[in-house]
Amino acid sequence: MKDLPASFRHIRLLLAREKGHPGSDGDHGYDIVAPLDADGRIDAELFKAHRGICRVRRFRPDEEDAVGKLVHGPGGRWSFDYDSADSSDDEVAFRFGDETFAIGEYISIREDDGDMHTFVVVQVNEV
């Protein structure tokens, strides 16, 4: 991955406080590799040029990690696709293109259970 543009980042999201997780959950989250622009938003043009490298890893307690790809669809919709032959496992990232990926910011994702969960950005590092 050393040949990637300098704007590529490793982004870590962790489940924020919610019912059932009053102190958040460091064992439930996402690692994302994607390009960010100067404002910390996903750079859609660089994404298009390097979509095969834009990956996501979902981790949860007592489950195997799910590894997939970041997908930019119609209407600016962003999602995570873990199996291209099965859309039932896709997860939608709410307003992902408008979000700023900076430590402490909150991101909402509709997970494969159909529920919307809030995650907090805890890490943004160069790849």
Given this model, what pLDDT does residue 41 score?
Answer: 96
Residue 86 in domain: yes
**pLDDT tens, 64-87?**
999 999 999 888 889 999 988 877
**Within its chain, how far is the Cα of 74 from the centroid?**
18
Read off φ and ψ for residue 22, nearest 5 degrees: -65, -20
Given this model, what pLDDT does residue 25 score?
Answer: 65
Given this model, what pLDDT does residue 123 score?
Answer: 97
Q: Give the number of C-alpha atoms closer than 13 A to the C-alpha of residue 57, restricted to the C-beta side.
A: 11
> How many independent structural domains does the chain possess?
1
**pLDDT tens, 1-48?**
567 889 999 999 999 987 766 666 678 999 999 999 999 999 999 999
**pLDDT tens, 88-120?**
668 999 888 889 999 999 999 999 888 999 999
Residue 2 in domain: no
Given this model, what pLDDT does residue 103 score?
Answer: 96
Residue 1 in domain: no
Residue 3 in domain: no
Q: pTM for this structure?
A: 0.91
Given this model, what pLDDT does residue 94 score?
Answer: 87
Domain range enclosing 53: 8-126
Given this model, what pLDDT does residue 82 score?
Answer: 93
C-alpha distances in angstroms, 45 versus 21, 36, 50, 57, 96? 36, 10, 9, 22, 15
Given this model, what pLDDT does residue 46 score?
Answer: 94
Given this model, what pLDDT does residue 114 score?
Answer: 87
Residue 97 in domain: yes
